[in-house]
Amino acid sequence: MATSNDAAVVAAGSDGTSVSKLPIGVLARRGLMAGVVVLLSLALVRLVAGMVVPLADVGPASWNPVLATGVVVTVGATVVYGLLTRLLDRPDRAFVGLAAAVLVVSMIPLVTVAPALPGVTTAVVVVLAAMHAAAALAAVAVLTGRWG
């Protein structure tokens, strides 16, 4: 839920339109919260899926790559969202669209490269895709203030 501290600063853009600027403190807080929620989401998917699909010896689904990628994704998403809030009148809409496009593109290696890796089965690819979707959903929801 948005708080009174989440109020955006509205300034006039160069063309006279209003540009919403999320205060850096709010962006940092949302970015940190997004990181926590993304990592928890990834851990939850990994733990639950690991009960059904053997993931212990599968490189891309092991803990270090999953958690490191979660941190990188969150930092990147926070930077992009921060830039969009400074450049666009409707940053949330653009961010959701961009995140959806990035999610689709992130699936390409899952169907082209991942199956050739040792231990990667169709079930593992499905788990990896679920982790991609969970991370994207968590980052978008928290950064845009829809959750958290």
In angstroms, rounded to a whole number, what is the distance separating the alpha carbons of residues 71 and 135? 10
How much of the chain is helix, strand and coil, in % rounded to 5?
Answer: 70, 5, 20
Q: How confident is the model at residue 119, as a pLDDT?
A: 87
Q: How confident is the model at residue 56, as a pLDDT?
A: 76
Q: How confident is the model at residue 20, as a pLDDT?
A: 60
Q: Which residue, among 32, 148, 18, has the nearest Cα to 86 in the 3D structure? A: 18
Name the pairing type of β-strands 9-12 and 18-21: antiparallel
User: Is the backbone of residue 90 left (phi > 0), alpha (psi -120 to 50) or beta?
Assistant: beta
Q: How confident is the model at residue 6, as a pLDDT?
A: 53
In angstroms, rounded to a whole number, what is the distance separating the alpha carbons of residues 140 and 38? 10
Angle at 33 between CA 27 and CA 37, to 5 degrees: 140
Q: How confident is the model at residue 59, as a pLDDT?
A: 86
Q: Which residue, among 6, 141, 23, has the nearest Cα to 77 in the 3D structure? A: 141
Query: What's the predicted TM-score (pTM) here?
Result: 0.84
CA distances 91 to 29, 94, 95, Å, are 17, 5, 6
Low-confidence ranges of the chain (pLDDT < 70): 1-20, 148
